Structure 1
Amino acid sequence: MSGADAGSGTVEDVTVRAVVVDDHPVVRDGLVAMLGADPGIEVVGSAEDGSEGLRLIERTDPDIVLMDLRMPGTGGTEAIRRLRSRDRERPRVLVLTTYDTDRDIRGALEAGADGFLLKDARREDVLRAVHDLTAGRPALAAAALAVLASGRDPRRELSAREIEVLRLVADGCTNRAVGSRLGIGEATVKTHLGHVYEKLGVTDRASAVRTAWELGLV
């Protein structure tokens, strides 16, 4: 039911209009069914990526959006950022994801997410979070609370040399080319990249470059 309205019927006791954005059909349909079983929630649509989700949100004007983070095309963090550029308050956004790295959590919250839960959360916790957020109450998983409490910022953890390496990689340089530009060995470049991946919470070059862009490093 990606991209389509979930139903136009109204129920007298429905108080929360919800949209689900997730690229996995089974997860998306499961969330739609779970939310729809709550008499206080009406699912007005679902989408499979951030761009489709933004169009759906504009068309249906929901109270809350359940948003995955990593999706093909426009991911959740970018979709939240674009949504908040339109309206700082509405709809409320509940991130529901399998990713709990500091980068994922902080990126989503800084983009403007209102709540953050992991997909292994219990059904009742997800439903409670939907109602809490629409009522103006917080809904954050323990991992998200820990990140907020730590004040950790990966931008401050990267050394000047690691940032240099990262920017050259973002420009499309190979490890050998990076080493040549900086006057260091290829093995040293790989070591620096390993540290960059660890600090940014990623596992490959493409993810490192994308995260660096999101953090304003490149």
Structure 2
Amino acid sequence: DAGAGLEAKPSATFEAPRRSTLMASDRNGQVYVAGHDIYRVDPSNGATEVAIANASWDRPAYSPPDVLAFWPTGSQNDEMLLMYTAAVFTDETQQEMADFVWGYQSVDLTSGETEIADFASFEVLMFSAVRSAVDPKHLYGVYTQLSKHNLETKELVKRVDLPHTYYVINVSSDGKEIYVAGTNDDIGVYDSETLERVGEIRMPSGGDMSVSTLHVVPQG
């Protein structure tokens, strides 16, 4: 009961999957936990099931995926969004690699529906990603570059170099601006269509944001 303030006590305690790093809850009260897999937990009784398989996925022509489940970036779309990388082989023997890919996995926190799909060859490193709040077929990823991908056509729309490394990304409620942050004391603001840098927000203290999470409060 969070209303109890500093006197709050847990109303229930359950065993959690090992190496859990992120959580989100859907509109029906189910809790999603990102670890080796993405798990769905019923908080009324602790019952746990796999919502999206990662370490346990059944994709014979793929290597196990590498998933960095660190930043909760999907709030503008009411989703839990993670990216993965994986090797794709020509067949199930996994003797010859055909590609190394980026993919995304999403839990719709309104409906509870899940999806997982590849969207690009691995060309640059990306630490986190977000989908457009008004056109979710567009995914933006960030690290030393800002990349815009079309998930339907699996095409790279545009990529621009950044002035320095950024770890975390988010999007405005109207989908017009992309925000990149982390590592230094500035939040870069980019036009979502052109990927032109249109502004920045400086931390008053001048401090290092490191691996801080970047949230944008939804409007409307």
Q: TM-score range by the shorter chain?
A: under 0.3
Higher share of residues assigned strand: 2
More relative contact order, 1 or 2 (CA 8 Å, 6+ apart)? 1
Question: TM-score, structure 2 length as denominator?
Answer: 0.27
Higher share of residues assigned helix: 1
Which structure's CA Rg is the greater one?
1
